[in-house]
Amino acid sequence: MLSELDYSAIFLTFKLAALTTLILLIISPPLAWWLARSKCFYRPIIEALVALPLVLPPTVLGFYLLIAFSPDNFIGGFWLNLTGNTLAFSFSGLLIASIIYSLPFVVQPLQSAFVNLDKDYLEVSATLGFSPQETFYRVVFPMVLPSFIIAGALGFAHTIGEFGVVLMIGGNIPGETQVLSIALFDHVETLQYQQAHLLSICLLVFSMSLLILIYGVLQKRQQRINDA
């Protein structure tokens, strides 16, 4: 059976994924909009930075974050002055790392939705009297809602599956930074295969369900595009 520590790891994982997704859904739309529309010469640099976690080994990202989070460095020191806690080996550090790590999974579906959004509809919206902000929530958001669902679900699922970055910067503090994937790793290392099995199957079923949901939404949207 699952131990209390396992439950606390599950709870922590979902808390981390939920918070990460929430914050990403707030910061990603404007960023994705800018990436979809901007003609700035430095846009490719920003775009590459956003996409970097897709190609970089998580340990590399984790290593640099660990350095940055150290109280000797600017970011870690600033955080220490501000809150009185260190950023490395804390839940806040984990959250920041997750946001960076899952950013491309949320930004990219939104960006492609915004790129494909016909400018004609924005013009119609303006002639209906909607300001750019009103256009965004009255027209753009409902039009690309499926992309928001996909972006959110991908960000959530990806955060749950995180391992390398967490290992580097979070360590393994139960109740604070010990997430599911780390707990699982622990069980295997200590040869507790039964518990490893249980945790694995939970994670597998959950991830599978989430993906089926995402692709179900995608299929429905494709149907609508085909009909149109």
Partner 1 sequence: MLKFDLKKFNNQQTLFHFQGELPVNGVTSVFGDSGAGKTSLVRALAGLDKTYSGSLFFRDKTWQDDAVFITADKREIGMVFQEPRLFPHLDALGNLKLATKKASKSLYSISELAELLDFTQLLDKKSHQLSGGQKQRIAIARAILTGPDLLIMDEPLSSLDQHSRRLLLPFIKKLSLKIPIIYITHSMQEVFYLSQNMILVHQGEVECIGEPQSLFLNLNLSLAKHKHSGLIVDVQSSHWDPEFSVLHGYIDRQAIIVTMDKPTQLTDFQIKIESKDVVIATKKLEFSSLQNCLKVTIEQIEQLPTTSVLLTLSTGEQKILAKITNKSLNELALKVNQNIFAYIKAMNISLLDD
39 belongs to the binding site for partner 1 (CB under 8 A): no
124 belongs to the binding site for partner 1 (CB under 8 A): yes
- Whole-angstrom CA distances from 75 to 67, 81, 96, 102, 177 are 9, 10, 12, 20, 19
137 belongs to the binding site for partner 1 (CB under 8 A): no
224 belongs to the binding site for partner 1 (CB under 8 A): yes
208 belongs to the binding site for partner 1 (CB under 8 A): no
Contact letters for partner 1, residues 45-84 (x by CB under 8 A): ----------------------------------------
Contact letters for partner 1, residues 83-122 (x by CB under 8 A): -------------------------------------xx-
Residues near partner 1 (CB under 8 A), total: 21
Provide the minimum distance between the beta carbon of 10 and partner 1 in the complex, in angstroms, as a whole number.
37
Nearer to partner 1 (CB atom), residue 81 or residue 226 = 226
220 belongs to the binding site for partner 1 (CB under 8 A): no
Provide the minimum distance between the beta carbon of 144 and partner 1 in the complex, in angstroms, as a whole number.
9
- The answer to whether the CB of 179 falls within 8 A of the CB of 170 is yes
- Cα–Cα distance for residue pair 79/142, rounded to 1 Å: 38
Provide the minimum distance between the beta carbon of 121 and partner 1 in the complex, in angstroms, as a whole number.
6
- The answer to whether the CB of 105 falls within 8 A of the CB of 154 is yes
- Cα–Cα distance for residue pair 128/123, rounded to 1 Å: 9
Between the two ends of the chain, the Cα-to-Cα distance in Å is 52
Binding residues for partner 1 (CB under 8 A): 120-121, 123-131, 134-135, 138-139, 142-143, 145, 224, 227-228
